[in-house]
Structure 1
Amino acid sequence: MPKIIKTALPQTSTLWAQVQPGDFIDGYAVQSHLSPQQAAQTGFALPGWANALMRLRNLIMKPFGLKTESSATGDQAIFPVHVDTMDELVIGTDDSHLNFRIAIIRQNGMIHMATWVHRNNLLGRVYLAVVMPFHILLTRGAMRRIASAAPSP
């Protein structure tokens, strides 16, 4: 299986236009011939334990008035699509506590995935700190699934 590397999102990504000083942004890459859309479909096919974790998150966060369900339409993404080209897919949403996007970009035989978070207030800062270990675990799992997948014909 190809090695997952921690790396910056390529500067060609449209996501960089939203990044402000102090924002969180991470990035991973793996060798893959998948399209960004195929990578999203593969990577976001969460295992049962991760789906259970998301249900728990929704249950805990609902009393705080935060979004607990995806507002995406169609079956391509779990969140609204902001950019959808041959080489890049950007999904994400804005909420009262934070705004986030996930960018998947194909470049030079690699799939790059980055998560950008702009914290809007103290709740956003606390939320990001609490979910960070789970974010890393879920993102690396998504990248492993992408690394092991063959492109659709």
Structure 2
Amino acid sequence: MSHTKKTQLPQHSLLHDYVQQGDFMDCYACATDLSVDQAAARAMEFPGWAKGLLRLRNILVAPLGLRSEFPEGEKIGPFPIDQRTENEIILGLDDSHLNFRISILKDGTQAYCATWVHRNNWLGRAYLALIMPFHVLIVRNAVSQIWRPDTK
């Protein structure tokens, strides 16, 4: 995963429109020749271990009344598309404990994968703290999938 780097999301990203004081946002980038659609598709191809973590998450949060399934509609991977431009796709939704969006932005030869989270209450703060180590692993893996050369 040495081809990924933690960085700042370019200021022209639509994701900045969501950010409020105190929100969480991180961003990783890599070089790529892929289009934004190809990059998003690869980033959301979670490996088996990440899919397993998402299944476990869904089981654990069900008694708390949190979403365990996402609404119908256009999706990339498990996440619904919120916005789309020629160079950026925003995925995500709002829930009772937190709102989140994922940006896949193609800017020149760089692809950026950024996550924004607005915690709505104490449960959102606790949830984000609990999943943070897994979040970093999953996002770094997603960006490394964007970078990987075609094997075909």
1:95-149 deviations in Å (ceiling 9; x for gaps):
0000000001111210001000000000000000000000000000011111004
Name the residue aligned to 1:89: 89
Q: How well do the aligned residues superpose, as a CA RMSD in angstroms?
A: 1.7
Match runs of 1:52-131 below 5 Å: 52-74=52-74, 76-131=76-131
Moved more, 80-89 or 122-131: 80-89
* Runs of 4+ in structure 1 over 4 Å off: none
SS in 1 for 2:86: coil
Partners of 2:76 and 2:38 in 1: how far apart? Answer: 9
1:7-58 deviations in Å (ceiling 9; x for gaps):
1111000110110010000001100111222111111111111111111100
Partners of 1:8 and 1:54 in 2: how far apart? Answer: 26
The percent identity for this pair of structures is 47
Moved more, 31-40 or 127-136: 31-40
SS in 2 for 1:96: coil
Instruction: Give the TM-score normalised by structure 2.
Output: 0.93
Q: CA deviation at 1:72?
A: 4.4
Q: CA deviation at 1:75?
A: 5.2
Instruction: Give the TM-score normalised by structure 1.
Output: 0.93
Name the residue aligned to 2:11: 11
Measured at CA, do residues 72 and 43 of structure 1 come closer, stay the same or move farther in structure 2, by a change above 3 Å? farther
Name the residue aligned to 2:30: 30
Aligned length: 151
Partners of 2:60 and 2:25 in 1: how far apart? Answer: 25
Asked whether the 8 Å contact 2:45–2:77 carries over to 1, the reply is no
Name the residue aligned to 2:40: 40
Partners of 1:29 and 1:4 in 2: how far apart? Answer: 6
Structure 2: 5+ residue runs without aligned partners? none
The letter for the 2-side match of 1:96 is S
SS in 2 for 1:103: strand
Partners of 2:129 and 2:88 in 1: how far apart? Answer: 28
